Amino acid sequence: MSAYPPATAHTSSAANRPFIGTEYLAQLIDMLAQQGITTNQLAQGTGLSARVLASPQEFISPLQYHKVIENALALSGDPLLGLEHGRRLSISSHGFLGFAILASDNLGQALSLAIRYARTRTLLADIRFINDQDTAIIQINRLAAMPSTFSFVVQNIISTFVSISRFLTQNTDELTAVAKFTDAPSRPASCYESILDIPVMFNQPHNQLCIPSFLLDTPVSTANTTARRMAEAECEKLLAELDRGQDLVTQIRRNIEHMNAYPTLAVMAKTLNSSPRTVNRQLAQLNTTYQNIIDEARRERALQLLLETRTPVEDIAHQLGYNDPSNFGRAFRRWLGMSPRAFRKNAGASEHG
């Protein structure tokens, strides 16, 4: 049985292509059914029938998935739904990627494969692997403008990686990881920790799962080189089928990092050997805008500077491209509901409290 559908001539962008297997939603549908929430309710506004959504062998687009999750969050009223959903996903539910993970030599190889081929399973986030001294970091960045469901996506990915790591190491006591979220907590920290069974931190510069590097050498009992290579080959085929346009957001974000600046759309378009009109059109197909990408990059950098340095707020504003610090203050209040100085003060108090 194929783990992915054939490409069709009717889909113009990866964001609209029916590519996400509905097997990912099976556990979510079961969870919500226990609350009296029906598949018909989850399908509202998606253009999907309840039959398609309930079938484990159908495929839906990332935007349809986004709407299903939006409905699930509104109907359940549970802001931690993503954590619980991720915890209930089995490795085999990830198709060929799951097979590659199970056949890996050790945890490090499994996580590297999961991140390398993550785009074959989700187009909703950009997942990166960072080695920082004694810590292996899995970082999740927004790939498209989905403010109402991005927290679910982050929770789901972090919870999934925790479950994978715990399953592969077969020792929950040694999984001394830490989950970091850019959002403020929507429930007490103990609610997050009861699901993940690891410490959590909030209002961080990035959404991350931090794992001690020594755990990466933990062998996987189901290792099988031949099976892994076969599964990797299938994942490579799937990557090749994806629209190149989906890489545009990631390319822009990396250009911003390399330039260490927040250029205008015209400057960025020139860097991409394109035109502002073409870039706008391609981003619209991905359900985002250039301004959204710039705002997200500024927000991440602002949090990093406020938390990790003593740089004055006025200097931070200038580093982020704001000529008037008051404009930075207004933007920051829009992001986190408080001023930069209040955020830094609160963060310092929580560290010493």
Q: What is the mean pLDDT of the chain?
A: 84
Distances in whole angstroms, Cα of residue 324 to Cα of each of 112, 300, 309:
42, 19, 21
| pLDDT tens per residue, range 201-225 | 999 989 999 999 999 999 999 999 9
| pLDDT tens per residue, range 283-337 | 876 667 899 889 888 988 888 888 888 899 999 999 999 989 999 999 998 888 8
Q: What span, in angstroms and rounded, lies between the C-alpha atoms of 198 and 178? A: 6
How many residues would you count in the chain? 353
- What local confidence, expressed as pLDDT, does residue 18 receive? 65
Overall average pLDDT of the 104-123 stretch = 88
Percentage of residues in the chain with pLDDT exceeding 90? 48
Overall average pLDDT of the 20-30 stretch = 80
> Residue 172 phi/psi, 5° resolution?
-65, -30
- What local confidence, expressed as pLDDT, does residue 147 receive? 66
Flag whether pLDDT at 180 surpasses 70. Answer: yes
If residue 242 lies in a helix (H) or strand (E), which one and from where to where? none
SS3 of 219, please?
strand
CATH architecture assigned to 245-352: Orthogonal Bundle (1.10)
| pLDDT tens per residue, range 117-164 | 887 777 678 888 888 889 999 999 876 536 678 899 999 999 999 999
SS3 of 276, please?
helix
Flag whether pLDDT at 348 surpasses 50. Answer: yes
- What local confidence, expressed as pLDDT, does residue 171 receive? 64
> Residue 158 phi/psi, 5° resolution?
-65, -45
Strand ranges (DSSP E) for the chain?
20-21, 59-60, 125-132, 135-142, 178-180, 200-201, 207-212
For residue 352, which amino acid is it?
H
Cβ(166)–Cβ(196) under 8 Å?
no
What band does 78 get if pLDDT is binned at 50, 70 and 90? Answer: very high
Flag whether pLDDT at 6 surpasses 50. Answer: no
Q: Where in the chain is the domain with CATH 1.10.10.60?
A: 245-352
